[in-house]
Structure 1
């Protein structure tokens, strides 16, 4: 095999395995939503050449690897190869559920008090990352590009560069990236940053995260920063908690130029529009409105995670009913907190807190014909979620820290310019893109309380105007726009390797 011009390295497989007549068949994921379909769309631009995807698949070492390591998938985006890296459950538990979630995740989200070091087996983290790098090296052409996704694969570029020194390597962070004072809590900080400096391009959602990485690389490794260039005006609204007016175009370390890319992921606004236009969804919206029976609906949606602000949102709703008894029976909260995998014990306390709060609120305020909070512990199918968004008066999205937050963008897309209020944490990455939202500080009870009171009192015409402005941004800076910007960043790599400055490469 000559190798693929593009290899995507991501922990999730882009396929489903189904058994038909006793034989395994591979097909594209059913859900059209999320980042996976967008990543696969990059294979569309390879012409007749096939792309490759590297992910893990667990196996029982007592049985051995009982699946094909490499399969070809027929997909609307074209045929591509999927390399399934065999990992034991113990390896996944160690590198993903423990090291990534208990040690790396809290630091990335600026929660050093949640950092747990004692259970970390860093050698297993290295071992798994090395295996991903070896699998990617098997798939990629000598002059191809390997695109690595997210912090749990931080060390892949280090090992890949040793195996194939000339291959192009890009990396994208889906999380925040903290400044040096927080990042340096990690005892493996130099190894991690050294690995990222083996990339040709390191991408982030926001200019702030890119600048933080540059500061870390300078302070830890002595890397030098390139010229600071102005960012897209959409990302540069002054006065925001995460605003950053400019960002270094690159960092240089040991003679290597590492480009810094900024491109916040968008939602699939056209998909939302198509779902809302169906007769089935319109009927579902009508049914949900009938069930509300004139009550106002507040939604809060996320995963069970202490960074997502679900506890803070529920407490804010409880305080709303306490101080405004006239709202009892007239407003309802739908909370979706998708439970973490059973192996992620780090979130067990958060799950108990959420369930306890919902029980307390419902116990205090329920009447015979009204329950104030409905809690879903499993993900709501996307088509139904869009219908809920479309009828919800308020979407309360209050993470304490979030790399981006697609819930906010999906709510805006679902409202289609109709009245609705998005209460949005200042510390969600997408807040810099949506200054028209009702911004709040989730660390402040007073700020959350004021936001809820103001949202419920906002005149429909004012709410519609703000929503229409945000809907325009969400529709323009959608998943397709993110993909186009990313492809443009990829083209800079060859130019920079040839000696051009990054800004010249963009011309």
Structure 2
């Protein structure tokens, strides 16, 4: 029975110590695990990934015990060496790929040792996965940590169906070309049958890089390799729409509360015409946090009439705090919040309410329900699901989404207010416009936006991807030449032996000789000459070489005294044995 093999850097279940200090398997809040339970069951899925612990963190007995626990959830843990994993993750993945793919070239680090660790960890994943692969299986590989894995699996299992989805942006050629290992990354991804991105822009950038760096031709969204076709397409990641919409109905419209609403009421932030602006982000330099705070500061400076009427709920979730870039960002962020509050605040009003901690699901729902504006302005973001979650919680209600034009979600959410994330004045003006937008207009805009989110939810996203993967395999089967079995070889041999007059039509490129990116290098070798001479010397045979190559090249490779017919330049020129090249039909050149 075929299955879906899902491979990601981390499993949807991870290891944590319990109160008795024993490791236990617990579910992880993860984009792949939300709203996709039915999909994974239908696909008979199994998971491979890291359980957030290294091999040295557990004893052999612990690993054996926990492996049985993981198998209950169809998960297969991959344990790695800590030192090498640190170079793979904190090194190549986070300090090379992450900044480069988000256009922060000044933050990008290129180190050979990081690259070597990246190769080794990808190979480790391949070695763990391959023993469980069977004919008919589909493999779905996720994200920038494992971009070499498709080709590594393809090398051992050429028949397997492989899909890859990148959850971050894919940069333009001018950015991607800076990567020293650019060809290796592209070749790794082209081990897939289907390469997926969030937006058409990312798809277009990828195909441009493949064409300009590897030389492969493409037609529409299909890349033609020597042995098969790779499809490239975009699949905007959705959310579990009903979960957020139902959560909003229960917590907000039914007036239930997890405590956050009461806290806002106690601080006099609700009612009386007061407005709330919401920002939720992970601590990261790609999120545009500094500019967002300065834009709100500019808004307060430019519109004093809104003082004590508008508050900014500013939530930042901790991330990579030990890294210097993130320490610097946290310091700047703290100072900006302090400056805004000290300059514009009063005894009765604090402009920015700053929270540096994770948020539970119920807390997010309450914040979405109570906030009049969601301000989401990343400098670069593959998609941004916070924007979609906010809208799902505002179904049939007002509320305004302000989103950066460089967030992938902006390509879908065209009725939102879309801004340049580096333009403080434009963001400030967008805040004012949102506050002044009539509620009826807000509701109408949100209806249009949520219809798309409801229909193309996370389940539809996964179904669309797997259906496309199945389709590309069908295309490949149609395009591929029929496999020559032993029985077919015997039938051809018997027919050849029985024939008294035989004509053999022989295509040159791809049949007599293999393909090459430089066609001039594909000249006949001694083995081919020997075979053709032997066949052409038999009086029963007539050999015809057919090619799109020019007649001069073919005439040089195969002299006229050979017993060969040649059809050159796609049939424009022909030559019989011991003859000269002639045109089949004279071409009218008067128009030239």
The TM-score normalised by the length of structure 1 is 0.86
In the TM superposition, residue 459 of structure 1 has moved relative to its aligned partner by 1.5
In structure 1, distance between residues paired with 2:83 and 2:255: 46
In structure 2, distance between residues paired with 1:323 and 1:423: 19
2:501 aligns to what?
none
Q: Deviations over 1:236-268 (max 9, x none)?
A: xxxxxxxxxxxx2x1122232111132101111
1:460 aligns to what?
439
2:8 aligns to what?
10
Structure number with higher relative contact order (C-alpha < 8 Å, ≥ 6 residues apart): 1
* Paired residue secondary structure (2:278): strand
1:223 aligns to what?
216
* Paired residue secondary structure (2:316): strand
The change in CA–CA distance for 1:181 and 1:40 in structure 2 (over 3 A counts) is farther
2:283 aligns to what?
304
1:259 to 227, 231, 234: 231
In structure 2, distance between residues paired with 1:104 and 1:441: 24
Contact 1:300/1:310 (<8 A) preserved:
no
Q: Deviations over 1:201-239 (max 9, x none)?
A: 11111111111111111111111112x2xxxxxxxxxxx
Q: Deviations over 1:79-111 (max 9, x none)?
A: 642121112332332111121111111211122
* Structure 1, unpaired ranges of 5+: 229-247, 502-507
Alignment of 1:287 onto 2:234: no
In structure 2, distance between residues paired with 1:406 and 1:50: 24
2:578 aligns to what?
none
2:41 to 10, 30, 44: 44
In the TM superposition, residue 461 of structure 1 has moved relative to its aligned partner by 1.4
In structure 2, distance between residues paired with 1:313 and 1:21: 44
* Aligned-residue RMSD, C-alpha: 2.5
In the TM superposition, residue 372 of structure 1 has moved relative to its aligned partner by 1.3
Contact 2:96/2:110 (<8 A) preserved:
yes
* Paired residue secondary structure (1:185): coil
Contact 2:5/2:47 (<8 A) preserved:
yes
1:489 aligns to what?
468
The change in CA–CA distance for 1:21 and 1:114 in structure 2 (over 3 A counts) is closer
In structure 1, distance between residues paired with 2:113 and 2:353: 37
Alignment of 1:67 onto 2:63: yes
The TM-score normalised by the length of structure 2 is 0.74
2:98 to 102, 105, 109: 105
* Paired residue secondary structure (2:63): coil
The change in CA–CA distance for 1:343 and 1:85 in structure 2 (over 3 A counts) is farther
1:400 aligns to what?
379
The change in CA–CA distance for 1:218 and 1:84 in structure 2 (over 3 A counts) is same
2:125 to 128, 132, 139: 132
Contact 2:150/2:189 (<8 A) preserved:
yes
Query: Which structure 2 residues correspond to residues 82-97 of structure 1 after superposition, within 5 A?
Result: 82-97=75-90
Contact 2:100/2:108 (<8 A) preserved:
yes
Q: Deviations over 1:129-160 (max 9, x none)?
A: 11111112123223312211001111111222
In structure 2, distance between residues paired with 1:183 and 1:263: 21
Q: Deviations over 1:172-220 (max 9, x none)?
A: 0001111211111100000000111111111111111111111111111
1:328 aligns to what?
307
Rg (Cα) greater in structure: 2
* Structure 2, unpaired ranges of 5+: 481-592
* Paired residue secondary structure (2:256): helix
2:458 aligns to what?
479
In structure 1, distance between residues paired with 2:115 and 2:251: 53
2:240 to 258, 261, 268: 268
